[in-house]
Amino acid sequence: MKLKNDLLIRTALGEKVDRPPVWLMRQAGRILPQYRALRGKLSGFKELVETPHLAAEVTIQPVDELGVDAAIIFSDILVIPEAMGLTYEMVEKKGPLFPETIKSGADIDKLISGADAASHLKYVYDALETTVKELDGRVPLIGFAGAPWTILAYMVEGSGSKTFSKAKKFLYAEPALAHQLLQKITDTTIAYLKLKVKSGANLIQVFDSWAGILSPIQFRTFALPYLKQIATAIDNVPVTVFAKGAWFAYQDLEHVDCNVVGIDWNTPPMYAKTWLKTKVCQGNLDPCQLYGHPDEVRAAALKMVKEFGGKHIANLGHGVYPDTPLDNVRVFVDTIKGYSY
């Protein structure tokens, strides 16, 4: 499918562009009334994720409604543990819950991995294909997965957590088992992302949402090698790595075979640019900035764009919060679209 708006892809590939492309992490779902209306009619989050034509509808809503320069497929990072044999529930107002967690080598041995596991996710590939057809080349479609460390964190912890101390304990106490599990997740993720590209994803983003709770040595040992394997394995489309909170690892990320590095809102653009010389940066407005006065939103968006000064994909520093005023999201998007270098 030929893209009519390929600004995101050209920017990710390092080409010179007139303005930064703009989209928002977690734009599909949460903030749009259309999403909440559809979601209210269904049994739950998983029904939406697992029904391709509905997932496609939710994926396209922000393109219609906000005019962003990219769509991101509506899904979740937790479909991977499920495909490997560890099912999750999405508890209303609480978040993910794994009835079974990984505690031992025997638990890891039971998991399926690689192409076998990835073959269980046909509903995701179907959702991508439907979305590509319906988007008709209007904007690129982003496919994504969780990074192996972040996925391990949920598989061991069993739910969200402020500290993920059970998961971190697993790394310190059972390093050999941790590596076994990380490799199984990596093999599955690579097979999965290759199928996503085959189904029409124009760019792949890997979310390492819990990178920032690792020590620099733990990140180098348990996160980086697996991120590298994934980035190297994906061909034909640009790759974004978003290791949230991992400012301490930018020297390492500079050497990962990806095109774009996601920057969270704690990191000054100048700092990111200093270490990430060969990468395009994505981010990094504080999601909470969108609760401010529209004039402040506009000023902050412009300040961000100027500070990055090119080689930049405009976005937030993490996902948009569900109760963000939609008008301010529009101010953010329109400010970027009105900018020119």
- Residues identified as active-site: 26, 30, 39, 76, 154
Q: Does 29 bind ligand CP3 (CB under 6 A)?
A: yes
Q: Does 174 bind ligand CP3 (CB under 6 A)?
A: no
Q: Does 164 bind ligand CP3 (CB under 6 A)?
A: no
CB closer to ligand CP3, 72 vs 256: 72
DSSP 320: P
| SS3 of 11-29 | HHCCCCCCCCCECCCCCCC
Q: Which residue in the block uniquely carries the two structure tokens 């000023």?
A: 299
Of 71-110, binders to ligand CP3 (CB under 6 A) are 72, 74-78, 90, 95-96
Dist. CA 240–CA 245, nearest whole Å:
15
Question: Which residue, among 38, 204, 184, has the nearest Cα to 124 in the 3D structure?
Answer: 204
Q: Does 160 bind ligand CP3 (CB under 6 A)?
A: yes
In a 10 Å sphere around its CB, with 0-12 CB exposed, 13-18 middle and 19+ buried, how is residue 41 labelled? exposed
Q: Least distance (Å) from ligand CP3 to the CB of residue 31? A: 9
- Contact segment (CB under 6 A) with ligand CP3 among 68-76, 103-111, 119-127, 250-258 equals 68-76
- Contact segment (CB under 6 A) with ligand CP3 among 19-27, 221-229, 264-272, 330-338 equals 19-27
Q: Does 144 bind ligand CP3 (CB under 6 A)?
A: yes
Q: Does 23 bind ligand CP3 (CB under 6 A)?
A: no
CB closer to ligand CP3, 72 vs 190: 72
Of 250-309, binders to ligand CP3 (CB under 6 A) are none
CB closer to ligand CP3, 253 vs 273: 253
In a 10 Å sphere around its CB, with 0-12 CB exposed, 13-18 middle and 19+ buried, how is residue 69 labelled? buried
Residue 186 C-beta-side C-alpha neighbours within 13 Å: 19
What residues contact residue 148 under an 8 Å CB cut-off, 6+ apart? Answer: 182, 185, 186, 189, 223, 226, 227, 230
Torsion angle of the four alpha carbons 124, 204, 265, 312, in this order, in degrees rounded to the nearest 10: -140
Q: Does 46 bind ligand CP3 (CB under 6 A)?
A: no
Binding site for ligand CP3 (CB under 6 A): 25-30, 39, 45, 72, 74-78, 90, 95-96, 144, 146, 160, 207, 209, 319
